[in-house]
């Protein structure tokens, strides 16, 4: 049986004893089986330039999400809708409405 037909080299219960070699792009070479664990190194990641980070705030979207206006809920006739209601004091309740 060729290695590509059964790519599992190691038992899930034992420490890995073999691994497939990889090329420069990270692709596995199923014909080149090597002993031991695969060497893993993190690639150098570019540093974040915190001074260049920007944020765009859509005030209208923020008001839609966190405002005090209810949004219409589309619902078909004969269906029920559960609505979570939070009072001005932070008390939460659920109301089930019949459409």
Q: Is the pLDDT of residue 92 over 80?
A: yes
List CB contacts of 73: < 8 A, sequence separation 6 or more.
Answer: 81, 83
Q: Which sequence spans correspond to the domains of the chain?
A: 1-72
pLDDT value of residue 4: 57
Using one digit for the tens of pLDDT, what is the confidence trace for 13-36?
999 899 998 887 778 888 899 999
Decide if 98 contacts 83 (C-beta within 8 A).
no
Q: Cα–Cα–Cα angle for 15, 2, 35, nearest 5°?
A: 30
- Residues 47-61 have pLDDT tens digits of 777 778 788 877 787
At 27, list the tokens: 């692709």
């Amino acid at each position: 049986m060729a290695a590509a037909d059964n790519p599992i080299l190691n038992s899930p219960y034992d420490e890995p004893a073999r691994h497939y070699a990889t090329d420069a792009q990270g692709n596995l070479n199923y014909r080149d089986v090597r002993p031991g664990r695969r060497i893993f190194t993190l690639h150098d990641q570019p540093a974040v330039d915190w001074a260049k980070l920007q944020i765009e705030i859509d005030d209208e979207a923020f008001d839609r999400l966190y405002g005090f206006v209810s949004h219409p809920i589309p619902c078909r006739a004969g269906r029920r809708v559960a609505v979570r209601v939070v009072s001005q004091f932070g008390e939460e309740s659920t109301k089930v409405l019949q459409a």
